[in-house]
Amino acid sequence: MAKAAAMSVVVTAALVIVLVATATAMMVAAQCDAGQLVVCAPAILGGAMPTASCCSKLREQEQQGCFCEYLRNPAYAGYINSQTARGAIAACNVTLPQCS
């Protein structure tokens, strides 16, 4: 009886850990919205000097860990890897992470 109760506690604890980890991952993914970078379009697409609002959005995306997600996504990777995007990112003192 004691073993069954102990096993139940262990299983419940493991389930809680999995649920918290999943919820955290979903929250991070929900925060990564490439649409928020529309203010950076002139800098990323045309090579213009990034605005303060663009730099702010780039920093937010950096802090939320979004760049690796974008670099892994074929729809966004070309933009992030472009010379103009890298120039805008550097001008805002944002660092692209090394993604595995």
pLDDT in tens, 25-75: 444 445 899 999 999 999 999 999 999 999 999 999 999 999 999 999 999
Query: Do residues 63 and 36 touch, judged by C-beta distance below 8 A?
Result: no
Q: Which CATH superfamily, name and number, covers 33-100?
A: Plant lipid-transfer and hydrophobic proteins (1.10.110.10)
Ordered by start, the domain boundaries in the chain are: 1-31, 33-100
Examine the pLDDT at 6 and tell me if it is beyond 60.
no
Q: Confidence class of residue 100 from pLDDT cuts 50, 70 and 90?
A: confident
pTM of the predicted model as reported, rounded to 2 decimal places: 0.68
State the pLDDT at residue 90.
Answer: 97
Confidence band of 80 (pLDDT split at 50, 70, 90): very high
